[in-house]
A and B are shown apart, each in its own frame.
Chain A
Amino acid sequence: MSTGHLALLLGLFAVPALLLWLGHRLHRRSARVRGAFWGGAVGHTLAMCAATVAAMYPPAAWTGGEVARGVLGFGAMLGGGLIGAVLGAFMAVLPPDAMPASGELIHQRKSPDLPKQGWPRPRR
């Protein structure tokens, strides 16, 4: 089994399984885990669409040294899920109003006046 095939299998089954596990009793988990879950779910879904489109490309349209198709087709779901989870976990600890200002994010996070958990907990 090649590295590409392994990445495909992990993206197909390991990432969704991890997300299912993370999503179990999500409301009881920390903001970081909830952010990782939503980031991973969005990243994996988008990557799944990209991988499906890349897989449909007919072989006649492939070029010799093409890398993008292989990366998208085999690794997108693994990479998309993991990158989304990391981004989601990072963004979850930021206050909602500080999200877009990338230059000030680190400064604002360290500010003691702001709450640590940016995303509100759902009502039970």
Chain B
Amino acid sequence: MKAPHVAPERARTPGQQVSRAAFYAHLWLGVLFTAVLLGVSITGILLNHKVPLGLMPEVSHEPTAEFTAALPLAELARRALEAAGESGGIASIDRMDVRPRNGLVKVRMRDPESTEVTLDIASGSVLHVGARGDVFLERLHSGEALGEGWVLLSDAGAIALIVLLVSGYWLWLWPRWRR
């Protein structure tokens, strides 16, 4: 029986070997990380436009008194909890973001809606109560929404994107360089 014809292996130059590796890296990483990069890109676009999209409330405010006349944090927290209708005490608060330049404090709750109460730091009056839709998107963008350690997924996506860019440039420019 006649043996099947096998084409002899061509000797490749180092440039050709790199091109071949770049092609397969570009192909495999492009396909494997499509879904990850799609998710990261869409959440990134939404986060860039979170104010116009209504994901984050924009409260414009001017200071009503000197910063030294601001109410204590504990009092501001109590008022925020009352405004949000939270009964869990101080443990219901995720963070307090003080903005001395605007004379306000943003108190974010640890509920599914990520409710945020904006208060005047001097008078303690409630300026705004609303959900922060961008908190979950941020967690999804980084991979934290899936659980602890899942940030590695977005890290892998970022590394894949770098390899895709480098390999794409190589595949584009290398044939032109050789001419």
Residues of chain A having any CB pair with chain B under 8 Å: 5, 8, 11-13, 16-17, 19-20, 48, 51-52, 55-56, 58-60, 62, 77
Contact = CB atoms under 8 A, between A and B. Distances in A.
B140 A60 contact: no
Interface in B1-57: 27-28, 31-32, 34-36, 38-39, 42-43, 46
Nearest to A57: B136
A59 B136 contact: yes
24 contacts: A5-B146, A11-B35, A16-B35, A19-B31, A20-B27, A20-B31, A48-B34, A48-B35, A48-B38, A52-B35, A52-B38, A52-B39, A55-B39, A55-B140, A56-B42, A56-B43, A56-B46, A56-B137, A58-B113, A58-B131, A58-B133, A59-B112, A59-B136, A60-B112
Interface in B73-120: 112-113
Given A52-B39, A55-B140, 7 more contacts: A48-B38, A51-B35, A55-B39, A56-B46, A58-B136, A59-B136, A60-B112
Contact of A12 (B27, B36, B140): B36
A20 B38 contact: no
Interface residues of B, number: 21
A52 B42 contact: yes
Contacts of A20: 27-28, 31-32
Contacts of A62: 112
A54 to B, nearest CB: 11
A52 B42 CA distance: 9
Contacts of B131: 58, 60
B147 interface: yes
A11 B27 CA distance: 18
A62 B136 CA distance: 12
B150 to A, nearest CB: 8
A68 B98 CA distance: 39
